[in-house]
Structure 1
Amino acid sequence: MFGKLLTLKKVLVGTITPMCIVLTKNIKFSNFLYADSVDVNVTKSEKWDSNWDKLENQGVDPKSIPVHNIYLIRHGQYLIQEKNSKDKKLTQLGREQSAVTGRYLKSILSSIDFFIHSTVVRAKETADIIFHEVDDVKLTESTDLLAEGMPIVPHRYSNDSSKHELSEHVDQPRIEAAFRKYIKRGYPSDKKSINTVIVCHANVIRYFLLRALQLEPRSWLDMSLYHASVTKISINGKGSVSLRFYGNAGHMDPKLLST
């Protein structure tokens, strides 16, 4: 059985066909149907900008700059039905989610160099719970820059963008300022890595991620995040950005998952 090879029968685009994976003998992989090659014209604006954080010319050897690991944590489940932001506190489930995520961070991080969180109640509560679970936090900061908001009008609102233009006008400069302040390569140090934990909101996290990867930021609404999930990006001394994991909630029992 293991000597047999899998092959795909040809299917027509636009038609519905049953699964066409069959076992057969004496068929080489070279007979597989491949898509036609696509000629991609990469313009200058689409090329990777290694100086995206404006820290490329620091006059230091990039090898002396440790990897900056940034852990973006969404707040736990909260009382979404409340009208006032100050009343949108964590539910009991949200508190459990936050505690589990805090223990997860403790298991993977021996120390945290920067612990930063949004001033919005649900994010602050999440941060407080996580803070009491982790070890060796060097510096903490609370900032309005990370508050929830409309980072940029997403593609799916393009036909009715006028309703969201004011929100974007108010929120986008603030959230972009937060990105420029916190999402960047590290500084010269003897350490092998710098660990930053940021507790904030789904809109902010998704925007940060797309901006860091130099992808279309208007696609942020096309992604979803579990409550108290962890997204990790790493930035090396040359400004290269790697997404390590997105919306990780594998440390939670399935009954704790919510969006």
Structure 2
Amino acid sequence: MRKLTSFVCGTGAGLAAFYLQRLRDPQTAVQNSWTHSDKPVDPWALWDSNWDCRDPKALVRPLRNSQPEEENRYNADLEKSKAKKPRHIILVRHGEYLDAGDSDETHHLTERGRKQAEFTGKRLCELGIKWDKVVASTMVRAQETSDIILKEIDYDKEKVVNCGFIREGAPIPPQPPVGHWKPEASFLRDGSRIEAAFRRYFHRAYPDQEKESYTLIVGHGNVIRYFVCRALQFPAEGWLRININHASITWLTISPSGNVSIKYLGDSGFMPAPLLTNRIPRDAKNVV
């Protein structure tokens, strides 16, 4: 009887280990997921795991042969190249500003825009985040928004990275097309810059990162919408279909595997209703 019990337990443990390994296998995971695996997936819907060119398999020299020593070298290099912790990137659109004058220097926050930024700063403070980096666009409205937020989250202004790459612009011709005309050169110029910013700030953690990191980026609506599309691998041409309010919070997380998820998209529910805006006033009479 004791032998029979041992046999049953051993067999059960073996089967459990077998099925656990099967569940961990990517192909099996797909079969057991909600994915309709019997239907072909559109190519645009497939996830590119090496979107940031930091998949360990893309960083390590391939196997030269099947010798144990070479396999050990390869596996050791793979392990050294793997990210260990996730990166959180929190994007904040600037507050409402008055589109007056012909230059950026005249585009200051309205009183309502300053209140929006203050509410956002308080919200970020309530989240209890310890910030590893704060990045702000060099445009006046983003700088003013950043300054107000910094007072609430108790972050040293001297440590802020002021970045010209994330200035507002036209990232890519939108689909569906919009009614007003814009020269193709605008998209060529702005798009290259904004794409460079995406590659600078969006990637999985370095292998030596030992804890979760939090980066705050204070920028602009078009840039944030483009970043969201790129990070989630949605068609970038759809950026204009997304609407985000002034001083709203968008939160993206990049896991060690390179998978990207979105926690907040244009969250502004922490503000009183009279402060919710998304369009730019061009007449001082309409400014609160």
- TM-score, scaled to structure 1: 0.79
Higher radius of gyration, 1 or 2: 2
| Structure 2: runs of 5 or more not aligned | 1-35, 60-77, 279-288
Aligned residues of 1:77 and 1:94 also touching (Cα < 8 A):
yes
Match of 2:240 among 187, 210, 221: 221
Question: How much does 1:173 deviate?
Answer: 0.5
The superposition leaves residues 177-208 of structure 1 with CA deviations (integer Å, 9 ceiling, x where unpaired) of 000000111223221x1000000000000000
The residue matched to 1:155 in structure 2 has which SS? coil
Match of 1:189 among 209, 221, 224: 209
Aligned equivalent of 2:126: 107
More strand by share: 1
Structure 1: distance between partners of 2:125 and 2:55: 32
- Pair 109,185 (structure 1): closer, same or farther in 2 beyond 3 Å: farther
Aligned equivalent of 2:199: 180
Structure 2: distance between partners of 1:110 and 1:103: 12
Question: How much does 1:166 deviate?
Answer: 1.2
Aligned equivalent of 2:217: 198
Q: Tell whether 2:110 aligns with 1:70.
A: no
Aligned equivalent of 2:229: 210
Aligned equivalent of 1:244: 263
Question: How much does 1:160 deviate?
Answer: 7.7
- Pair 167,40 (structure 1): closer, same or farther in 2 beyond 3 Å: farther
RMSD: 2.2
| Structure 1: runs of 5 or more not aligned | 1-36
| Matched positions, count | 220
Structure 1: distance between partners of 2:170 and 2:192: 10
- Pair 82,40 (structure 1): closer, same or farther in 2 beyond 3 Å: farther
Structure 1: distance between partners of 2:180 and 2:108: 31
The superposition leaves residues 71-124 of structure 1 with CA deviations (integer Å, 9 ceiling, x where unpaired) of 110000001243322101101111111011011111113310010010010011
Structure 2: distance between partners of 1:84 and 1:136: 29
Question: How much does 1:139 deviate?
Answer: 4.3
Aligned equivalent of 1:157: 177
Aligned equivalent of 1:51: 50
Aligned equivalent of 2:167: 147
Structure 1: distance between partners of 2:184 and 2:39: 33
Aligned residues of 1:66 and 1:237 also touching (Cα < 8 A):
yes
Does 80-89 or 61-70 show the bigger shift?
61-70
Question: How much does 1:65 deviate?
Answer: 2.2
Q: Percent identity among equivalent residues?
A: 39
Structure 2: distance between partners of 1:40 and 1:220: 28
Question: How much does 1:136 deviate?
Answer: 4.8
Aligned residues of 1:151 and 1:168 also touching (Cα < 8 A):
yes
Match of 2:102 among 83, 87, 107: 83
Structure 2: distance between partners of 1:245 and 1:51: 24
- Pair 230,159 (structure 1): closer, same or farther in 2 beyond 3 Å: closer
Aligned residues of 1:62 and 1:237 also touching (Cα < 8 A):
no
Aligned residues of 1:64 and 1:237 also touching (Cα < 8 A):
yes
Aligned equivalent of 1:232: 251
- TM-score, scaled to structure 2: 0.71
